[in-house]
Structures are given as structure tokens and as C-alpha cells.
Amino acid sequence: MANDMPEHGYWGPVTATIDWCEENYAWSYFIAEFWNTVSSLAIFLAGVYGWFMAVADDLEIRFQVSQLLVASVGIGSACFHCTLRHAEQQCDETPMVLAMLNWFHELFADTWESNRFLREAMPVLLVVYGLGFALLHNMYRWTTGFQIHFIVWGLANLARCIYVSREKGVDPATVLLKRAVISTALATFFWATDFHFCSHLQSGPMPNPEGHAWWHVLIAYAILQCTSFSIYRRCIQLGKPVAIVLKGPFGLWPTVRVV
């Protein structure tokens, strides 16, 4: 690692509300947090792969939009960590909110499918809520508030996944949900360590493990598992003959196919 990099690189002083534990501009004059930027690609790829699955299985537009939002989180995250500027931070965190709300819609839509008003109103209400929160967050820079908000919606969606895993025909996909929970727990550990114990990591005898970069990789894997679970469940609801194909070493890479 180069030690002669300037304190402020190409993008100037930090204006974001968070400066993660990775040493800034240690690897490139043009990239503030190199590993956090590169690892954001994992989230982008998870979204693109999920989008291809949703399209291939001919699912509703909400499933396709969900994955495009995940991909946009990956792009926004890369921009944020590359620059550490407030504008790019919003390009990361706003898609995070919208993706979480769309996942909520994806998981709960069947509960209001028979009610025309709710079926038409809920997507609009969720978008208005998401954009309203993003606007207020941009104005008041709620760092802790944003984190709590994201965690609450994430736990609500995860609880819904666990609840619907008991539905008829969904049982084969529960292995994906278990993987998602484990990966999310590990990701959260790395995120919390990086966020709360940075001074110890930087002054310790061991190299910085770049916990936030591991958060990106592990949460991307959890997203892929949750996406596959949601797609499988929806295919079952629609009466489509569907199978889960586990690829790669130890079958870690899932693909949901209509057969």
C-alpha cells in the first residue's frame, strides 16, 4: 500500500456524513476507498443476475424493478465510496430505501391482490414514502436515523420471508433463506466492526480487514438468495413448474428456472 498519497485525492475533502474505516486514496488518486468501491460491484452483479432470472421466468414488473433497484444500489455505492461526497452518498442510500420498499411490495403484494384500491395505491404510496424519506434525509442528513430505518424495513421483510416459507410448495426454497440469514449475520458483523471499532483496527498489529468491503460481498450474496427465494415463491403462486438449480462450488450459486 502506498503511503505517500495526498490526504485529499481527486474528489477533494470528504462531504459525506460517513467516512468508512478504509484508508482514503491509499491505492489510487482517483478512488477514495478502493476496496469499498470495487466490492460494490458484487451488489450490482447480484441485481443484474436477479433481473435476468425475473425476466426469464416471466414475472411481474415489480420483480424486475426490484432487481434493477438492487443494481442501482451497487452503482450508487461505488460512486459514494469512490468520492466520499454527499451527493454520491445519496445516490447510494436513496436506491437502498427504494429497493427495500419494493421488496416489501414484492413480498406483501399477494395480501392485497384481491383489493383493487390497495393493489393500485400501495405502489404509489411506497414510492411517495421512499422519495419523501430520501428528500428529508438529504436535507437533515440522518445518519443514525437512516441506519435504523433501513434495519427496521429489512427485518420486516426478512420476517415476512420466514413467515411465507411455511406456504405450500415453498419448502424447497427454505435453504436459500437460511443462507441469506447466515450471510446477512456475517455481513452485519463486518459492517458493525468496521463502523464502531475503526480506531482499534487502524492501530492494531494486523492489517485492516476492510470490513465494509466484506459487508458488500456478503450482503450481495444474501440478496441473491432472497431474490431466488422470492422468485421461486412467486412461481409457485402462479402455478408455474419451477426448480432451483444450485451451481458452483458446494452449490452456492442458485438459479430459479421454470421447467
d(CA 218, CA 185): 9
60 labeled binding residue: no
d(CA 228, CA 238): 15
22 is in an annotated binding site: yes
Q: Is 19 annotated as a binding residue?
A: yes
212 marked as binding residue: yes
Residue 86 annotated as binding site: no
CA atoms within 13 A on the CB side of 65: 15
Residue with cell 474505516: 21
Find out whether 210 is annotated in a ligand binding site.
Answer: no
Q: Which of 232, 239, 220, 231 is nearest to 42 (CA)?
A: 220
Cell numbers found for residue 12: 477533494
Contact 227, 46 (CB under 8 A): yes
Cell of 157: 421483510
Give me the DSSP letters along 83-101.
H--HHHHHHHHHHHHHHHH
Helices of type H across the chain: 34-56, 61-83, 86-108, 116-140, 143-164, 174-196, 198-203, 211-237
Would you say 88 is a known binding-site residue?
no
Rg of the chain in Å (alpha carbons): 19
Hey, is 227 helix, strand or coil?
helix
Binding-site positions for Zn(2+) read 81, 212, 216
Binding-site positions for Ca(2+) read 19-20, 22, 24, 33
Binding-site positions read 19-20, 22, 24, 33, 81, 212, 216
